[in-house]
Amino acid sequence: MANANVLEQSWDVVIIGSGAAALTSALSAVTSTTPAPKVLLVDKAPEAWAGGNGYFTAGAYRTQHNGLEDILPIVSNVTKDMEDKIDLPVYSSADFQDDLQRVTGGRSSKALGKYLVGESLDVVRWLKGFGVDWWLSFRRQAYQVDGRWVFWGGLHLTVKDGGKGLIKNLTDAVKQHGCTISHETAATKLLTNSRGAVCGVEVEKAGKKYQLETPSVIMCAGGFEANPELRKKYLGPGWELAHTRGTPYNTGDMLAAAVSLGAKMVGDFSPGGCHSTAWDAASPKDGGDREKTNEFTKSGYPLGLMLNAQSKRFVDEGIDLRNYTYAKFGRAILEQPNGIAFQVWDKDGQQWLRDEEYRDEIVPKIKADSIEELARKCNAEGLVNPSQFVQTVNEYNAAVAAHREEHPDAKLNPAIKDGLSTQSSKMQLELAKSNWAIPIVKPPFLAVKVTTGITFTFGGLAINPENAAVLREDGSEIEGLHCAGEMVGGLFYGNYPGGSGLTAGGVFGRRAGRAAAERAQTSKRMEKL
Ligand SMILES: Cc1cc2nc3c(=O)[nH]c(=O)nc-3n(C[C@H](O)[C@H](O)[C@H](O)COP(=O)(O)OP(=O)(O)OC[C@H]3O[C@@H](n4cnc5c(N)ncnc54)[C@H](O)[C@@H]3O)c2cc1C
């Protein structure tokens, strides 16, 4: 751990944060110029909470790729004999761009998207050179269909040991490259010179303030997802009650500091403008659990149903592959009475639930031998209308049966949108379940109570995608100030294609690091003149 002394030195590059975007920026900065710049990372969290939200992730990175020929040279968990049993569809740049625009209603910045998509695979290959141990994501992003691993949803790469592994790999590399990390060091203010260029950062450690001189600052301090007041202000009433899925330290301090210098806020600051998921209602409210991390996620709804406290369905659980719905269904849950919902499966549906999220030790389970009994037990957990619960499930089952009768050859396939639906010529539900509509009839039945877990906020700062420099309202760059990761606005609106956050932090972090190092080098040359 860095001692206070490092806060009394000047630095070539100061990076705020110690999450994936910050660590990637540091690796880029330190390898971009010769001699390497002196790089300091400051994070307000204690070392035990280092790694920001990155630590809590599944380590999933979305990249465009050309199928196995691109992926096999990157990953370390596929043996020769497994290669023939994998179906990995090509995920082209156009596919990634389309997904980005489709799920954001066409609002994602095309300029940012071009860089994100175009460099997505390259940044992953580059990070491999720093020791990131990439895996093909068998457990999260593939189903076994007829003896083959069938990948789906455009999200295929992860890191061994998920976010924990990612942050360890990156932190080790950053330290090996001579960067310094100062924990429990909160950035409180950006310092500027007479030209309005950033020339330092004020930080606070153990109650003492320090002014760090530097020509280049990269802000990777996250969004404001862990700040209930700001959530209520920007996302709307009720959002102060959401559970924080990851670090409790992303409270929007640097967004405010940059805005006070004239930085432009862009992107989705509208009500509910954030990434949020179905999350264990029994999880801690004000921040994640460092052991369980992502395991409170409850994303098994595509093979089941979600009912609110009034026993009504409120989303089409099968409208799209999970990677394109999970980040917006948190908002849908928050909008329900008391901000809760019950996920429901029968015996057949339960076999598709992933152990990581649904094993007995990780989530309180409500089990019953009949739907009536399940309704009574859910009633004790906050469901107010048990008879409606039975009616909702019965109506759903009737609609599934009618569809089956009309399509006797239709077969469940969770790796594609299989068209197994509740809508037939004989019967339609008011709210369809469009795919994977299997009957809920076989005991034992299972329900799990969920609430909303907020992941990160979508609105952020405007940047020049070329160098990740922060922009003012008039489009000019604030000299010496860059940002990456969650702080960047304009990419995500209303929804999000799973695995894009880490990739965005990688792409723009790499660009920010390079530009910051080059600026530091130039400013040294100028000093010598
Ligand atoms: C449970 C969970 C699962 C996720 N899974 C995935 C996934 O699999 N794939 C994916 O792409 N995305 C995932 N995400 C989203 C992903 O975590 C983010 O997109 C990404 O990690 C953001 O990186 P970042 O570096 O911008 O922020 P962070 O990693 O959150 O880092 C921000 C850091 O800044 C520090 N900080 C804040 N304010 C200050 C200050 N004033 N001074 C100093 N330091 C400060 C914080 O302490 C923190 O360490 C997940 C998020 C969560 C919570």
- Per-residue pLDDT tens digits of the chain, which is 529 residues long: 445 599 999 999 999 999 999 999 999 999 999 999 999 999 999 999 999 999 999 999 999 999 999 999 999 999 999 999 999 999 999 999 999 999 999 999 999 999 999 999 999 999 999 999 999 999 889 988 888 999 989 999 999 999 999 999 999 999 999 999 999 999 999 999 999 999 999 999 999 999 999 999 999 999 999 999 999 999 999 999 999 999 999 999 999 999 999 999 999 999 999 999 999 999 999 999 999 999 999 999 999 999 999 999 999 999 999 999 999 999 999 999 999 999 999 999 999 999 999 999 999 999 999 999 999 999 999 999 999 999 999 999 999 999 999 999 999 999 999 999 999 999 999 999 999 999 999 999 999 999 999 999 999 999 999 999 999 999 999 999 999 999 999 999 999 999 999 999 999 999 999 999 999 999 888 877 7
Closest CA to ligand 1's atom 13? 57
pTM score of the predicted model: 0.96
Longest dimension (CA), the chain: 83
| Residue 309 near residue 411, CB atoms below 8 Å | no
pLDDT recorded at residue 4? 55
23, 57, 174, best to mutate for ligand 1 pocket (most atoms within 8 Å of CB) = 57
Measured from CB, residues less than 6 Å from any atom of ligand 1 are: 16-22, 42-45, 52-54, 56-60, 186-187, 220-222, 245-247, 249-250, 253-254, 294, 455-456, 485-486, 499-502, 505
Distance, in Å, from the CA atom of 513 to the CA atom of 510, rounded to the nearest integer, reads: 5
pLDDT recorded at residue 3? 56
What's the length of the chain? 529
pLDDT recorded at residue 1? 47
Closest CA to ligand 1's atom 26? 485
Task: Return the percent helix, strand and coil in the chain, to nearest 5.
Answer: 35, 20, 40
502, 503, 507, 508, best to mutate for ligand 1 pocket (most atoms within 8 Å of CB) = 502
pLDDT recorded at residue 139? 84
**How many Å lie between the centroid of ligand 1 and the Cα of residue 436?**
33
**How many Å lie between the centroid of ligand 1 and the Cα of residue 52?**
5
For 294, the 3-state DSSP assignment is: helix
CA triple 182-177-467, angle to 5 deg:
80
Distance, in Å, from the CA atom of 325 to the CA atom of 422, rounded to the nearest integer, reads: 19
pLDDT recorded at residue 90? 97
pLDDT recorded at residue 524? 81
Using the atom order of ligand 1, give the atom closest to the CA of residue 502: 11
DSSP conformation class of 430:
S
pLDDT recorded at residue 393? 98
**How many Å lie between the centroid of ligand 1 and the Cα of residue 370?**
42
pLDDT recorded at residue 528? 77
| Residue 233 near residue 31, CB atoms below 8 Å | no
Sequence-ordered list of residues with C-beta below 8 angstroms from that of 424, at least 6 positions apart, any chain = 399, 402, 403, 405, 406, 407
Using the atom order of ligand 1, give the atom closest to the CA of residue 186: 42
pLDDT recorded at residue 227? 98
- 396: part of which helix (H) or strand (E)? helix 386-406
Using the atom order of ligand 1, give the atom closest to the CA of residue 250: 37
DSSP string, 15-47: EE--SHHHHHHHHHHHHHSSSPPPEEEE-SS-G
Encode 281-294: b = buried (16+ Cβ within 10 Å), e = exposed. Answer: bebeeebbeeebbb
53, 62, 298, 510, best to mutate for ligand 1 pocket (most atoms within 8 Å of CB) = 53
Distance, in Å, from the CA atom of 228 to the CA atom of 213, rounded to the nearest integer, reads: 32
Using the atom order of ligand 1, give the atom closest to the CA of residue 59: 8
Residue of 394, 393, 397, 385 lying closest to 311 (CA atoms): 385
Closest CA to ligand 1's atom 5? 57
Closest CA to ligand 1's atom 2? 57
